[in-house]
Structure 1
Amino acid sequence: MRELWTRTSGTVRRWIGDPTVSLYLRATVAATLSYVVALQVSAEPAPLTAPLTALLIVQVTVYSTLKTSIRRVNSVIVGVLIAIGFSAVVGLSWWSLALTILASLVVGHFVRVDEFVNEVAISAMLILGTTQLASQAWDRVLETLIGAGVGLAFNVVFAPPVWVDTAGEAVEGLARRARHLLLEIADELGGPAPVEQAAARLHEARRLDQAIADVDAALRQAEDSLRLNPRVSEGLLSRIVLRTGLDTLEICVVVIRVLTRSLTDLAKRRDGEQRLFPQDVTVAMEELLGHVGGALVSFAVLVTTQVSRSAEEAEGRLTAELAAAWTVRENVAQLLLRHVQEDPEAWQLYGSVLAEIDRMLDELALEHRSRRLMEELDRASAANAERLDRLGRFAGLRRLVRGGRLRRRKI
């Protein structure tokens, strides 16, 4: 019985922790609450605009909910104003309906309601077709405000979870896939290298490159969950750490694709009947690629670890992997230099392989990461200072205008 309870509770926690399940539950509760509130305030017998609005604006993060709320309310108000203007001038006919739809879409584009452009036209059409125009327009705006207010308040009071762990798992998964590919390449260096086999590794590297888009989507969701979230005290630092970490891994993945391209060209040169490298170089290259793969995983663990002690352990593992990789890399360089003298025509491909490995090791270095973090923090601080400066100038302008009005009244 205890084992069954443990398994069931673990399944329920995974469901609740899933972004899709969390969104469905939150949207359902917010829509229901907004309908209950609208029944008490609106004159409509079935104020379904309120739950519809709440259903549309509730997102998995507070920041995205706030953005959606503003756009949704803006689109409804603009549509209502357009409908009132057309009904007062021309009334309802087929050509006035066409003009209303066209004007709503154009104005919606200019007021930047984004995905709610069609909502401007829908609101205008619904109001244009009513007999009691003023009452219906006010009720629709009121219900929209209720739905947006309840949805936003629900996400503020019951703050959505922070999706940093989900993004961290995606980043670590990308690093482990890259490491697995490097280990596969290393295992195949010991025997004859058919061109088809090398080309298959190139296609795997391209798929790995395409997987970055999925990781980037998870990271953007995590970044949004850190904005305006009362649970988070250092959201800016967490966002920058994750973003710069993904940028580094993205560069490494691109370099791995270039590396597989070089190995494919080398396999074509060997006609698939010989080893890509001599025996002594092969052994060293296998060890080198293993250390590079380990460094990739250690780097991903470092940028996604929140606890300082675990971060120190990950940093220690990364430092050890990089040091071992550089030592083996120097050995590989010496071996390749000796074989290049025996086979001068291979110097370009050998050199490109070494250059690509050097690029990955440089990107994963702690000094490079610290410098990039400082640059991003300085850029974010400068942007915040500029934003505050604009707000200060706006507040000063308002005080100046208010002071001028008071002086005119005294005169």
Structure 2
Amino acid sequence: MRITARLRSESRIPLLQAVKTSVAVALGWILSQALLQTELPIFAAIAALLVVQPNINQTLGRAVERSLGVIGGVLIAYAVGIAFGESSWIVLAAIIFCIMLAWALRLAPSSASQIPISAMLVLSLGASTPEYARDRIIETIIGAAAALVVNALIVPPVLLSPAHDAVVRLGREVADTLDRIVDALRFPQQAGQIEEMMIKARLLRPMLEKAEKAIKQAEESLTLNPRHGVHRRLLDVDEEFYNRLTALVTRTIGMTRALRDHYDHSLHLEPTVLAITVELSRAAHDLRLLAEHVDHPGQTPVNPVVEPPALTEPLVIFTPHPQHWILIGSLMEDLRRVREEIKGE
């Protein structure tokens, strides 16, 4: 079972990706045969096979790396073949030389592996003429170009939904965290409840990282994508909301930590604390409203419970108990910044 688990992944690559790769290999093979009159255009097939990536931006980068790696490997193999011949030891020495050269030049992994592979194939096939080296380079470029064209024509995937869902989910979870702080300030809590609240607040960090990663993947999927203009505005809305949430996550976790560190069962008796809970409830309400607008841009919110934004009222600060003034001061400052982020100020 262990060997099988290492050989198989938990999920298949998308069928569209497999189809694009197959079409690119076939196209590169046919074009190379037609243009170069070669019977087995192996270099074109390998190039197309390795260059096709989930999006055009990655495909272009891989095409450049692949082509440069092949050019380097073919030139080295040609020079070695002319100078030393084509014995097995010469092939081995050329491979080792290419590996060390790639290491010395700090090449990317794909280029670093491509140079020795190309040199090995050229030397092992036993051809060291200028025409052969030239044809192998052209063959590789044909395969890479075929992969790029196919990836552009066969509907490149746009990965907006994962980014959008992650950002909206994060916004609603931040609002829920604010509500948990409100409950902890209004009603006496047990130590276990406070720790549970802190654990849930810390989970905002992984959610933030997941949203960041999803946004980067969405941006990559739009780069050089023919459908870039149609979807860019939607991604801009998600990015703007994500930028607000980055600061809100920090503030919300800080408020939760301050409450955990300075919690007292008499906090709910403080008039200023009760006023802060009202403002926190309004902040959570407005954050949910903002998330709803981001989730349905330009549309009427599907959730009829969502009301207009709550207005912030000036707080009257009463002299707190000496044990509470640090917490109250910390909550006041974080609350101010939370409101600024929600309003976009």
TM over 0.5: yes
Question: TM-score by structure 2 length?
Answer: 0.79
**Residues 310-325 of structure 1 aligned to structure 2 (within 5 Å):** 310=299, 320-321=308-309, 323-324=310-311
Aligned match of 1:352? 330
Deviations 1:320-339 (A, max 9, x none): 43x43x23xx3xx42xx325
**Residues 6-405 of structure 1 aligned to structure 2 (within 5 Å):** 20=14, 22-38=16-32, 40-41=34-35, 45-91=39-85, 92=90, 94-107=92-105, 109=107, 113=108, 115-134=110-129, 137-233=133-229, 240-267=236-263, 270=264, 274-278=265-269, 284-303=275-294, 305-306=296-297, 309-310=298-299, 320-321=308-309, 323-324=310-311, 326-327=312-313, 330=314, 333-334=315-316, 337-338=317-318, 340=320, 343-366=321-344, 368=345
Q: Distance in 1 between matches of 2:13 and 2:282?
A: 35
Q: How far did residue 102 of structure 1 move?
A: 0.9
Q: Distance in 2 between matches of 1:190 and 1:198?
A: 13
Q: Percent identity?
A: 26
- Code of the residue aligned with 1:27 in structure 2: it is T
Deviations 1:272-316 (A, max 9, x none): xx154327666655543333233333334445655xx32x869xx
Instruction: Say if 1:357 and 1:195 are closer, same or farther in 2 by CA, change over 3 A.
Output: same
Tell me if structure 2 keeps the 8 A contact 1:100–1:125.
Answer: no
- Code of the residue aligned with 2:215 in structure 1: it is L
Where does the alignment leave 5 or more consecutive residues of structure 2 unmatched?
1-11
- Code of the residue aligned with 2:284 in structure 1: it is G
- Code of the residue aligned with 1:118 in structure 2: it is S
Q: How far did residue 350 of structure 1 move?
A: 0.7
Deviations 1:138-167 (A, max 9, x none): 454344223211211112223413333332
SS in 2 for 1:133: coil
SS in 1 for 2:318: helix
Taking only aligned residues, the RMSD between alpha carbons, in angstroms, comes to: 3.4
Tell me whether 250-259 or 194-203 shows the greater mean CA deviation.
Answer: 194-203
Q: How far did residue 265 of structure 1 move?
A: 1.0
Tell me if structure 1 keeps the 8 A contact 2:24–2:146.
Answer: yes
- Code of the residue aligned with 1:100 in structure 2: it is C
Where does the alignment leave 5 or more consecutive residues of structure 1 unmatched?
1-17, 369-411
Count of aligned positions = 327
- Ranked by relative contact order (alpha carbons within 8 Å, sequence separation 6 or more), the top structure is 2
Tell me if structure 1 keeps the 8 A contact 2:91–2:120.
Answer: no
Q: Distance in 2 between matches of 1:286 and 1:27?
A: 57
Aligned match of 1:5? none
- Code of the residue aligned with 1:344 in structure 2: it is P
Deviations 1:49-89 (A, max 9, x none): 43433333223322222222222212221222222233333
Q: How far did residue 46 of structure 1 move?
A: 4.6
Structure with greater helix percent: 1
Tell me if structure 1 keeps the 8 A contact 2:166–2:207.
Answer: no
Instruction: Say if 1:247 and 1:283 are closer, same or farther in 2 by CA, change over 3 A.
Output: same
Q: How far did residue 215 of structure 1 move?
A: 1.2
Instruction: Say if 1:119 and 1:358 are closer, same or farther in 2 by CA, change over 3 A.
Output: same
Question: TM-score by structure 1 length?
Answer: 0.68
